[in-house]
Amino acid sequence: MSDEPLLDVSVRKSGTRATIAVAGEFDMSSSPLFRAAVGQALEDAVEVVIIDASGLTFADSSAVLALLKAREAAEAHSVEFQVTPISEELERILELTGLGQMFDIQDE
Amino acid sequence: MGDEPSHQIYEVLSGVPEAVPRARQLVVNSLRAWGLSGIVEALKVTVAELVTNAVRHGRGPIHVTLAVFRDRVRLEVGDRGGGHPAIRAVQLTGPAMGGWGLRIVDQLVDRWGTHTASGQTVVWIEKALPDAS
């Protein structure tokens, strides 16, 4: 197996909104990348952080945990936190954890 | 239960986070090669949860065994102990946040259990094959 990261994390800033797009496979091996990107966005004094999870091809409970922790960190910075849009894989794992309603998930 | 597996694969992985994608790849590739694509989705999440627990709570290398029997597939994930695999109360905040792993697994498989033998903690699952009932 290659050592290429399985998760692509890209951050786009537009005014006071930061959009963090995650694509690929989100598990415990890739969550540090995500955590770093969220931490950086919160340091940049944005008002809204949006997680674009439409490109996730795999997600497990570690991904859900990382999203919950990101939401907690955003709240501590008084930053609004949204997860939108989400992929089918993330939707499925949110259903299995019963946590879909924990996130501000917008329909497209 | 006394039947022999028609296919079996075994791998030992270092107990690090990268074991999660490796184990997932092993399970996905093996099931596809054996013509069992119908259970790939459930098993790839299951193996990810079990290996994640082994990395977080267990010790030593992680043993992953996947075996196909006439009517079911069986997956075992073992480590050198330290963990006590059990469904725990979900924590939504704080440092102990989590508790979904085995709850997710419980919804995806038909049976699961744990056993400790010769210093190993093993979590096993079984799932019926789609055309066997």
pLDDT digits (tens, 9 = 90+) for B76-116: 999 998 667 888 888 887 777 888 899 999 999 999 999 88
Q: Looking at beta carbons, which residues of chain B come within 8 Å of A93?
A: 45, 104
Give the count of domains, chain B.
Answer: 1
List the end-to-end C-alpha distance of chain A, in Å, as a whole number. Answer: 36
State the DSSP code for A93. H
Is position B9 within any domain? Answer: no
Q: Output the domain CATH number for residue B120.
A: 3.30.565.10
Cα–Cα distance measured from residue A59 to residue A67, given in angstroms and rounded to the nearest whole number: 11
Mind telling me how many Å the CA of A105 is from chain B's nearest CA?
18
With an 8 Å Cβ cutoff, the interface of chain A facing chain B consists of 1, 6, 25, 27-29, 58, 60-62, 64-65, 68-69, 72, 93, 96-97, 99, 102
The arithmetic mean of pLDDT across residues B115-123, rounded, is: 86
Query: What's residue A104's pLDDT?
Result: 66
SS3 (DSSP) at A72: helix
Query: What's residue B81's pLDDT?
Result: 82
Is position B71 within any domain? Answer: yes
Question: pLDDT band for position A14 (50/70/90)?
Answer: very high
Query: What's residue B133's pLDDT?
Result: 46
Q: What number of C-beta contacts closer than 8 Å exist between A and B?
A: 60
Q: Looking at beta carbons, which residues of chain B come within 8 Å of A58?
A: 24, 44, 48
Residue of B nearest to A32 (CA): B17
The predicted-structure confidence for A25-81, as pLDDT tens digits, reads as follows: 999 999 999 999 999 999 987 899 999 999 999 999 999 999 999 999 999 999 999
Estimate the crossing angle of helix B19-33 against helix B40-57, to 10 degrees.
150
DSSP assignment of B74-124 equals EEEEEESS---------B-SSTT-B--HHHHHHHHSSEEEEEEETTEEEEE
Query: What's residue B82's pLDDT?
Result: 67
Q: Looking at beta carbons, which residues of chain A come within 8 Å of B56?
A: 28
Is position B133 within any domain? Answer: no
**ipTM at complex level:** 0.89
Across the interface, do A58 and B56 touch by the CB < 8 Å criterion? no
Is position B2 within any domain? Answer: no
CB half-sphere exposure, B26, CA atoms < 13 A: 24
Is position B8 within any domain? Answer: no
The predicted-structure confidence for B19-61, as pLDDT tens digits, reads as follows: 999 999 999 999 999 999 999 999 999 999 999 999 998 899 9
B81 torsion bin: left (phi>0), alpha (psi -120 to 50), beta (else): left
Cα–Cα distance measured from residue A20 to residue B18, given in angstroms and rounded to the nearest whole number: 23
> Residue with structure tokens 């996130």?
A103
Q: Is the pLDDT of residue B120 over 90?
A: no
Q: Looking at beta carbons, which residues of chain B come within 8 Å of A27?
A: 17, 20-21, 24, 48, 52
Is position B3 within any domain? Answer: no
Query: What's residue B5's pLDDT?
Result: 95
Across the interface, do A62 and B108 touch by the CB < 8 Å criterion? no
Residue B23: which domain range? Answer: 14-128
Across the interface, do B98 and A65 touch by the CB < 8 Å criterion? yes
Is position B77 within any domain? Answer: yes
B60 torsion bin: left (phi>0), alpha (psi -120 to 50), beta (else): left
Pick among A2, A4, A28 to test the B interface (most B CBs inside 10 A)? A28
SS3 (DSSP) at B131: coil
Is position B57 within any domain? Answer: yes
